[in-house]
Amino acid sequence: MIWNTRYIPPDPTLWRGRADSPPASCFFQIIKLINLLESETINVTHPTFALIGFRCDEGIRRNLGRVGAAEGPVALRQALAKLPIQKFNFNCYDVGNIVCPDGDLETAQQALGEVITILLEQGIKPIVMGGGHELAFGHYQGIVGARPMSNLGIINFGSHFDMRPLLPHDKGSSGTPFLQIAQAHVASKNRFDYNCVGIQHSGNIRQLFETAKKFDTKIILADELHEGLQQKCIDFLDRVIDQNEIVYVSICLDVFSASYAPGVSAIQPLGLLPWHVIPLVRQLAASGKVISYDISELSPRYDFDQCTAKLAANLLYEIMHHHNEQPRPW
């Protein structure tokens, strides 16, 4: 186990809000902080979420993107702290961060995976906060460590496939995680069920569409949601839910239009609107099949009035407030 060499305990100063808030009315008042170096065990009495930061820019740097996402977990915690609590049927823990101070992305990914396994084995739903989308490969390692025999469906909300070719010496980047996951499935002879929502033709070269097709990737284009084909996307996710024992949901903030998410590594002028995605996040959370989430590419240095951080925090709010809740009939 190497996770403790890349681990930093949670910072209580990030969880602050209005002093006049009534007790237990906002996230900063109900969050529980756990230092995993002191205890790896969390008492699970209700559905329980654990926030783990992946403070890493190395994958973006290798992918020749604009760095800054290593500070994403800080900004996301500060934004989530102030949001209200409407239900009391879940627990939320902050378990700290995995860091990558020396450019050794592979070790940082392994460390993240080990923490994810620790949490999943206790019945806790991890929420990984990035950091670049390279976190997805580490996240996946942790899921497989805890549930190696389960049929896994992967849903990526993003404008890119993130299936670029590996760098020399088989190094990964923020553009390669789902190719690495696909290759891991091939090596283990496991079924690979990768599904993308929000893909843009202008965000992926032709060869990436060919790579995605090679691995039987299913896609919903951003164009389809802009054209109002919401029911097609609902049915798309229902298939993933129905055909898999467990589901992993990855949200890259570059799936959104730059007007809503300016604080990302690669802004998207033709990206999705929040209300394209929020009903789908609610659908997934209510299914009871999702065992783990991540949200990536939050770069505070490029944000405007914390717009992107607040959007990311609202997505986490939706996840935690709609878990296992049955969809309304209307």
Per-residue pLDDT reduced to its tens digit, 29-64: 999 999 999 988 888 888 999 999 999 999 999 999
Residue 252 lies in a domain: yes
Residue 258 lies in a domain: yes
As given in the structure block, the two tokens for residue 304 are 């405007």
Q: Output the average pLDDT for the chain.
A: 95
144-163 average pLDDT score:
97
CATH code for position 7: 3.40.800.10
Residue 45: its pLDDT value, please? 82
Residue 324: its pLDDT value, please? 79
Residue 326 lies in a domain: no
Q: How far is CA 77 from CA 11, 20, 25, 95, 192, in A?
A: 10, 20, 16, 12, 33
How is the chain split among helix, strand and coil, in percent rounded to 5? 40, 20, 40
User: Alpha-carbon distance 202 to 208, whole Å?
Assistant: 11
Domain span at 168: 3-321
SS3 296: strand
For the chain, the domain total comes to 1
Cis peptide before 288 (omega within 30 of 0): no
Residue 329 lies in a domain: no
pLDDT band at 98 (very low <50, low <70, confident <90, very high): very high
Bridge pairing between strands 152-157 and 246-252 = parallel
Residue 268 lies in a domain: yes
pLDDT over 70 for what percent of the chain?
Answer: 98
Q: What are residue 54's phi and psi, to 5 degrees?
A: -120, 95
Residue 30 lies in a domain: yes
pLDDT band at 325 (very low <50, low <70, confident <90, very high): low
Instruction: Examine the pLDDT at 327 and tell me if it is beyond 70.
Output: no
Which helix (DSSP H) or strand (DSSP E) does residue 247 occupy? strand 246-252
Residue 330 lies in a domain: no
Residue 328 lies in a domain: no
